[in-house]
Amino acid sequence: MAQYPELKNKSVVVTGAGRGIGLAIARRFVVEGAHVLLSDIAEGDSASLLTLAEESGTRAAYQMLDVTCREQVDAAIARAVELFGRLDCMVCNAGIGEIAPLIEASEDSFDRQMAVNAKGAFLCATAAARQMLEQGSGGRIIINASGAGKIAPGKAVPLGVYAMSKHAAVGLTKQLGAELAGDGILVNCICGGIVDTPMWDVIDRGVTERSGEPQGSFKQEAVQSIPVRRIQEPEDMANAVAFLASDEASYIAGQTLNCSGGLLPY
């Protein structure tokens, strides 16, 4: 059910929207009555959301997008403007993660993760900002920075390069947020915890393979560390994004919003 009527007919681009958190975010915007361009390197489950949008009387479309390619990013922004008339909100959600402590990470792994998680967020956020500045009526840019962008997981969860890249996403949020707030473009990021997505299954498999523990055991133990005592669903992240896109968040700029069930301490 729609909660923020001001989001109706807004134009939104969501990256990494083929599955998981990105798909949940796109679905939430459709429910709110927004028009959504779902972008991802693969179509994934986006077809079901296109059907929902049609049934709901909103508009949605899929655009293949490699966020590491400036030309493709610019093309996605241009298509959203062509379809919906303008760009009101950009959600930089695309991301990848690989298991390895920093001292074991290969240069190729470093390049892959930094390209998607840091460069991709930079390209998408700045392209959206240029479009919003041209429109002259503000906007919202929301970056999925992950809890790994706030803390150092260390050896327990050896997400070395991933954590580096997500710290870069937090830095991007703070700097771009400071640059654009005076133009009415509010840049913020969300930092989740243990979200029930395929990526966390990859993390569990990588950690348990290294430790020799049964597959699934790390994820089960990790959930027990969450103060609210349940695993986080993609919809929890979507709720946080919808809030930051709403008028309720009109005085929030350059901030990191923890959405982790109490897992993140600051």
**What are the domain boundaries of the chain?**
7-196+233-259
CATH superfamily of domain region 7-196+233-259:
NAD(P)-binding Rossmann-like Domain (3.40.50.720)
Q: What angle do CA 172, 235, 119 make, to 5 degrees?
A: 25
50-54, 92-96, 192-196, 232-236, range with the lowest pLDDT: 192-196
Residue-level pLDDT at 112: 98
Share of the chain above pLDDT 70, in %: 100
pLDDT of residue 59: 97
Q: What gap in Å lies between CA 116 and CA 122, rounded to an integer?
A: 9
- 256: pLDDT strictly greater than 90: yes
Structure tokens at 177: 């947020």
Q: Tell me the C-alpha to C-alpha distance, in Å, between residue 26 and each of 91, 154, 197, 235.
A: 9, 32, 15, 10
pLDDT of 221 reads 83
Distance between CA atoms of 17 and 26, rounded to whole angstroms?
A: 7
Confidence of residue 246 (pLDDT cuts 50, 70, 90): very high
Q: What is the pLDDT of residues 149-208, one digit of tens each?
A: 998 887 778 899 999 999 999 999 999 999 999 999 999 999 999 898 888 888 888 788
User: Of 192-196, 214-218, 236-240, which range is least confident?
Assistant: 214-218
Mean pLDDT, the chain, rounded, equals: 95
- Supply the residues annotated as catalytic: 162, 166
Distance CA 103, CA 106 (A): 9
Structure tokens at 156: 């327990």
Q: How far is CA 245 from the centre of its chain?
A: 13
For residue range 15-31, list pLDDT tens digits in order: 999 999 999 999 999 99
Closest CA to 119 of 148, 87, 143, 150: 143
